[in-house]
Structure 1
Amino acid sequence: MSELNRRLNELSQVKLASASQQGSPLRAAEIAPIPTSVWPKWVTVGCCIMAFFGMAWWFNQPDSVVTPAMAQTEIAAEPIVDQPETTKEIASVKPLSTIAVKTPVASGENKTAVVTEQSHSKSIDKSAIAELANMPVAQESLESEDEQKELQSSYDQGYESGYEKALAAVEQEHKAQPKPPAPKPVKSELSIQTVSLTPKELAQVEYLNAEKALEQQNSKQAVVNLESALNYRPDWLMARQRLAALYYGRGNVREAIATLEKGLAKQPNQPQLRLTLAKLLVNENQNQAALAVLNDKSGSMDSQYLAMRGALAQRLNNNVVALQSYQQLVRLASFDGRWWMGLAIAQDRSGNAGKARESYQKALQLGNISASSQQFIQQRLVALKSHRS
């Protein structure tokens, strides 16, 4: 109950407060006015007045030019022309536009600018009029228009005649100089000449074409070119060996052998062809045919030729040919132990033990033989020594 009473009391107090507020009248708030100053207006009015007076002063100023001068002089606008002694006095002077130049006088430290004023149609002092009256005035030309035209025409005629004379002189000089004769045009002609090459040159061309074909890995075309080269030059050893090698490389052994045999038929004393043919036959296991090719004693034989023939003869147990070959080798190159060893073997097989033992010892002394060959020589020396005892 106490809580209810308390709430009722509060509600009644609220109602009393609202009633008292509604009964009181509303009043306007009093606000102090903002003080206003008058000086901005006066400043604006003053600026406008100053601008107005400044513009009026500017437009009322006379045209003046400030120029320095050395002395106070008066310059007439018209030029002064020398007159003869008889001159007429000027009774009246028309107003002239004069330029008065005032020269500052340097007194002490004061310096002033020089102002040149130009006045149009103003009154002139009497002293200035007197000075102008005494000055000589240019007279108008007394010559008439006809005289002027005549003078002008005479001047033109003189100028034209002088120009024509000079031009005629220049033309005569040009005519006097002889002109060089004009060069005759050269007729352009196309000449075709046939150049005949010798068989040797044609063979060289075909050989170069064969080398180009080999660079392009075209062995078939190279064979054709080499055959053409040999047709032009049958005695060309290098081209024939190259062609035989190409045939052999392509597996055509018969053509390779035939090519070398054709060369031997044309050049029977050529040991290089025989040696090449013998090597080819040895590669084909035709040792007897190779030895038959090398047995031909026609032509000169070098150490390589004799060494192959002696080796083939020993392989085929042909002691006679082997002995002859190694004897010739020892004569050609007595410092090589290989040839002494070949000679010792040929002598040993022929039953000449004493010479064979000497040749074996010579081979050991000179060297240039393999270790297996040295071991073989040692064994043969022991065998020959025991056989002798």
Structure 2
Amino acid sequence: MKHVALILCLWCSGAYAQSAADAASQAARSLETASVQLDKADSARDRVAALTEVVRAYEDGLSAMRDGLRKAAIRETELNRKLAAQEQEVAQLLGVLTALGGRAQPQTLLHPEGPLGTARSGMLLATVTPALAQQATALRNDLEEVTALRQIQQSAANTLEQGLSGVQSARTALSKAIADRTDLPRRFTEDAVRTAILIAATETLDGFASGLSQITEDEVPQNLPRVANRKGTLALPARGTVLRGAGQADAAGVKRPGIVLATEPRAIVITPTAATIRYNGPLLDYGLVTILEPQSDLLIVLAGLSEVYGRAGEVIPEGSPVGLMGGNVPDSNTLLSPTVEQNGERGGVLRSETLYIEVREGDAPVDPLTWFATDKG
């Protein structure tokens, strides 16, 4: 991250840049921390947990860096448009300032009508000159800010590329570490034949959820801490924004009892609490689905993943990765474009993937936002 010092220096060159300095600094620190953690992850006692933290650190750092850089790109575009619109006015201003000279004083200018005319012109110029100087100062500040913003983007492009490469390496290492993991306790063994029969006979998520207890073998009692006292405080399973609330219709008019979270491509999805994996795999039209059971009569359904981790019956600790979202990570040029859409039905380019989250108490779904802490926006 050798360009960080230059980035922060340039951030401080103007009022707008100063307002984003803290965010840029935090982004740089997050990416530095993630890079160091990735180097140390191989020797960690719990490599899966270490790599999960690395991926999340990269996600946080990249998100902050992208937001800052895109704001810089937008600001540069605004200033360029402003300067272009003032092109004729700027040319006239430069002409007047050139005619006056850098040190011209009103009393040194002679008027053809003699002393009285000279005095009147001096009074007029004494009024006009400060205004011209103020315009020149404003123009100079705009030009300096454009230059600083452009240098920020050019210098940060390499940092962004390194971050994108680092998070991809961390995700690959995490997938391998999970595949090699053998130390998780198992609460039951999944009966593959019964599972296939249940899926074939299921037409709704309700029906599948109610039949989960029928697809297990050698199940032992659950021994996980109760989570009822944490209701309303659980972290969302992935970084993102709530796109639709429970019961809100989607573009096709379909209403579902869960919420839809807009996430960035390849975002990591974790369990918000210790839980048993009740099911992992494709289901109906939900795509890849993970169903977690934190305690008896409570299920958390996560649907729409591109990859799922773990096996049914495993008991995983809080914060464990359960999968990755799909999509293609945009390149740095796309991420820096000021025209990238951020809002809309699918959350725009930066948050183009959607994670469906449903919470079921007993046999009935409840609004997930009664369990998760979120700004709801």
Work out which of the two has the higher radius of gyration on C-alpha atoms and give 1 or 2. Answer: 1
Q: Same fold (TM over 0.5)?
A: no
What TM-score bracket applies, with the shorter chain setting the length? under 0.3
The structure that is strand-richer by fraction is: 2
Larger RCO (CA within 8 A; separation ≥ 6): 2
